[in-house]
Structure 1
């Protein structure tokens, strides 16, 4: 994959994402997602939608952020309380962000923000990180990238997965919003996905599935990666985007939904078999 070509595409004035320059944080987050996609052999169109989701859910920062973009947990709690009391969170039945008996808060964190203790527990089990003991680990970029990919591939957020909308060359980018949050901003995010699809195509991205342990490679290795030095390739730095007027939340119920558990055990079985 030619990463210089990828960044040139997303920095185009007409791309529909980022604008003409990226901040260091935006590059770091994007690189982490691209690296993980190449490691997994994620298809081009699925990767385009993963990038679009992270771009939207992180308020364009491509970083693992707290809900409302607050710098501290207390700041996020206060901002959510203020918005709720002002009637701006009409879909929220109970203030899930308030601290529990252990002093922990289960507001949104990450690239795809997970809310509610049950969802922290579920995603932590899937990626092998104890997010219940320390929910702030969801703010680690590496952890957030794992949650992003596993959640969207297994359907752990809502019961809908990438395979339900993007497979065999078919890409229902608007419908794919149901993987994370119903139909909220579905058309907007679909536009982001098309921009990332073009950038990945311009960069010559090819999905190469990793070989099973001990197996001979069955396909050609990926094309050499052209890394982009952030400073010379992306000279201008944009200020951090302003938070959205209404805090972005993923309102997930406390009971895990869909077939995420069966998918998880299938994944575990395949790993044990060396698939």
Structure 2
């Protein structure tokens, strides 16, 4: 699981996004607590970028408060938009009069509609149909937002479709996970800034991770690494008369290939 240097996190956040208020510090501090306990995010580049996009989405969808909120509007508006007789309401699984307002948007990503509340409730083992306001409870809202973005609950689109291993992230296209192309560029720009914040606050890969990268480098060149006395894989030392005069060893070649 991840562990953040909070001082660096907030310093870089201030540099990239501007002034911090105490409520915003508290909201971000809470989110960091949740992320540090979340096994869905690792130290991989892909996971860091996906997390950056999640945070950018939270920032936009919560009107920059980074706290779960209710969708803006009146009950009349929500029933008109999401009522069971409307096209959108039917897509959202609303079936009863008043469902539009009852299952309005809530949380970090505005969970909306009876079907999404039921799915999220099943995931949380919580009755969100009878108590929809629980979708705004911060720990539950965090779990809903991340799982929904990872599994495509909201539009059928998932984070893995746009933010992959060893490929540039498609942050603009990732907006379709939540809401088509609405403010796609704005949120993509925020995701890039959040990635800088995360890079500043997360530790560098451990020596073990670097050694594993070196091993992958050796194997990429057809070498067969063996266990050394310290548990780190390495090649057997060649006979003295066969030592290559080139000071760049196979191991350093492997490290160089993987950024070591």
Compute the TM-score of the two structures, normalised by the length of structure 2: 0.65
Cα displacement (A) at 1:139: 1.1
Are 1:166 and 1:172, in contact at CA under 8 Å, matched by a contact in 2?
yes
Equivalence for 1:236: none
Are 1:44 and 1:207, in contact at CA under 8 Å, matched by a contact in 2?
no
Are 1:64 and 1:139, in contact at CA under 8 Å, matched by a contact in 2?
yes
Equivalence for 2:183: 185
Equivalence for 2:10: 7
Equivalence for 1:126: 123
**Which protein, 1 or 2, shows the higher relative CO under an 8 Å CA cutoff with sep ≥ 6?**
1
> What is the alpha-carbon root mean square deviation over aligned residues?
3.2
Secondary structure of the 2:104 match is: coil
Cα displacement (A) at 1:127: 2.3
Cα displacement (A) at 1:29: 2.8
Gaps of 5+ in 2: 42-46, 211-260
Gaps of 5+ in 1: 69-74, 85-90, 209-217, 221-275
Cα displacement (A) at 1:33: 2.7
Deviation by residue 1:217-248 (Cα, 9 ceiling, x = unmatched)? x979xxxxxxxxxxxxxxxxxxxxxxxxxxxx
Are 1:58 and 1:65, in contact at CA under 8 Å, matched by a contact in 2?
yes
Cα displacement (A) at 1:106: 1.2
Deviation by residue 1:26-80 (Cα, 9 ceiling, x = unmatched)? 2233233323333225121111001001000001011110001xxxxxx742565
How many pairs were matched up?
193
Cα displacement (A) at 1:154: 1.3
Are 2:70 and 2:106, in contact at CA under 8 Å, matched by a contact in 1?
yes
In 2, distance between residues paired with 1:65 and 1:207? 36
- Residues 155 and 93 of structure 1: CA distance in aligned 2, closer, same or farther (over 3 Å): closer
Cα displacement (A) at 1:104: 6.7
Cα displacement (A) at 1:23: 3.4
- Residues 50 and 94 of structure 1: CA distance in aligned 2, closer, same or farther (over 3 Å): closer
Are 1:65 and 1:109, in contact at CA under 8 Å, matched by a contact in 2?
yes
- Mapping 1:1-275, distance limit 5 Å: 1-12=4-15, 15=16, 17=17, 19-24=18-23, 26-39=24-37, 40-42=39-41, 43-68=47-72, 76-77=74-75, 100=97, 105-170=102-167, 171-205=169-203
Q: Which has the larger radius of gyration?
A: 2
The structure in which a higher percent of residues are helix is 2
Secondary structure of the 2:116 match is: helix
